[in-house]
């Protein structure tokens, strides 16, 4: 658990941009309405597997000036051969070259890795908690330890700025990443499954509630995050509540 948390925190410390999570380029801009852009080229995956790394700079550099390119996946997603990997507006003149360059910028492998995938750290910890709470193991102490580790990960994560989902470079090319996870999705991935398995373990639910309240206090000024943290508290089946200072 300590190793997983350490690897995950190392990625979080780089946010919003860094040598592992992805270097900055261009400026953040409002996302255009792609429905109004007309015909597009769909670049399709040529293999099955997990998206391990994406080079944003390589993707944007693969398309002509003035283009809009949208990734149809994200780091940590599973790609099925033949499904959309990216879309380009307008279709570039040399489809084969642009398609090859974009596929080369998205590394797909047989397993998820921690190279850029913060969510995978949360996934691994949740799996440990789920096994600990199974009837065969029945180890709520380990599940509580997972919840505490998740709190250590989420506090800097909810306070960090995430990469923008729409960038424009100096050549006027716009790069869209609408499937990147936001703070609310990270929170859901961290707690939803554990909360389900912990329904018969009130001591684990108390740990979850205490962690959520700690996170709410940490981001009290960010209304959208406070709401995302309140939802799992509202749905908790536990009858025990941890007092939260005003």
For residue 223, the model assigns a pLDDT of: 73
DSSP assigned state of 88: E
For residue 226, the model assigns a pLDDT of: 74
The rounded distance, in Å, linking the Cα atoms of 94 and 115 is 32
Q: Does 243 have pLDDT greater than 50?
A: no
Q: Does 246 have pLDDT greater than 50?
A: no
Residue with tokens 């006027």: 172
**What does pLDDT average to over the chain?**
92
Q: What are the backbone dihedrals phi and psi of residue 172, each rounded to the nearest 5 degrees, phi first?
A: 80, 10
Tens of pLDDT, residue by residue over 122-151, are: 999 999 999 999 999 999 999 999 999 999
Domain spans of the chain, in order of start: 118-163+179-235
Task: Say if residues 92 and 199 touch (Cβ distance below 8 Å).
Answer: no
Task: Say if residues 175 and 114 touch (Cβ distance below 8 Å).
Answer: no
Which value, in Å, is the radius of gyration of the alpha carbons in the chain?
Answer: 20
Give me the residues paired with residue 109 across strands.
50
Lowest mean pLDDT, pick from 7-11, 164-168, 182-186, 237-241 = 237-241
> Closest Cα partner for 173 from 75, 88, 101, 47?
88
The rounded distance, in Å, linking the Cα atoms of 94 and 100 is 10
For residue 236, the model assigns a pLDDT of: 59
Could you tell me what percent of the chain has a pLDDT over 70?
Answer: 93
Cα→Cα distances 193→54, 75, 145, 234, Å? 27, 21, 15, 15
For residue 232, the model assigns a pLDDT of: 66
For residue 229, the model assigns a pLDDT of: 80
Token pair for 165: 């989902």
Tens of pLDDT, residue by residue over 48-67, are: 999 999 999 999 999 999 99
For residue 154, the model assigns a pLDDT of: 97
Q: Does residue 177 or residue 241 have the better pLDDT?
A: 177
DSSP string over 46-57: SS-EEEEEE-HH
For residue 150, the model assigns a pLDDT of: 98
For residue 46, the model assigns a pLDDT of: 97
Q: Given pLDDT bands bounded at 50, 70 and 90, which one contains residue 233?
A: low
Global confidence as pTM = 0.90
The rounded distance, in Å, linking the Cα atoms of 153 and 215 is 10
Tens of pLDDT, residue by residue over 34-47, are: 999 999 999 999 99
Q: Does 234 have pLDDT greater than 70?
A: no
Q: Does 72 have pLDDT greater than 80?
A: yes
Residue 231's Cα: distance from chain center in Å? Answer: 19
Q: Given pLDDT bands bounded at 50, 70 and 90, which one contains residue 242?
A: very low
């Amino acid at each position: 658990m300590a190793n997983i948390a350490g690897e995950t925190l190392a990625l979080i410390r780089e946010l919003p941009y860094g040598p592992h999570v992805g270097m900055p380029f261009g400026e953040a801009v409002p996302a255009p309405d792609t429905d109004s852009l007309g015909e597009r080229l769909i670049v399709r995956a040529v293999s099955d597997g997990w998206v391990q790394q994406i080079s944003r700079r390589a993707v944007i550099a693969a398309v002509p000036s003035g283009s809009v390119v949208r990734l149809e996946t994200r780091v940590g997603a599973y790609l099925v051969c033949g499904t959309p990997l990216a879309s380009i507006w307008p279709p570039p003149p040399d489809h084969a070259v642009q398609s090859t360059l974009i596929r080369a910028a998205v590394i797909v492998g047989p397993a998820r890795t921690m190279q850029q995938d913060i969510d995978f750290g949360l996934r691994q910890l949740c799996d440990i908690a789920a096994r600990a709470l199974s009837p065969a193991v029945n180890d709520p102490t380990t599940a509580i330890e997972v919840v505490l580790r998740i709190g250590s990960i989420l506090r800097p994560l909810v306070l960090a700025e995430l990469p923008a989902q729409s960038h424009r470079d100096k050549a006027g090319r716009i790069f869209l990443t609408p499937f990147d996870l936001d703070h609310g999705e990270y929170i859901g991935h961290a707690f939803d499954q554990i909360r389900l398995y912990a329904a018969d373990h009130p001591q684990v639910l108390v740990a979850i509630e205490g962690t959520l309240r700690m996170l709410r206090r940490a981001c009290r000024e960010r209304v959208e995050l406070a709401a995302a943290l309140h939802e799992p508290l509202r749905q908790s089946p536990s009858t025990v509540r941890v007092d939260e200072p005003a």
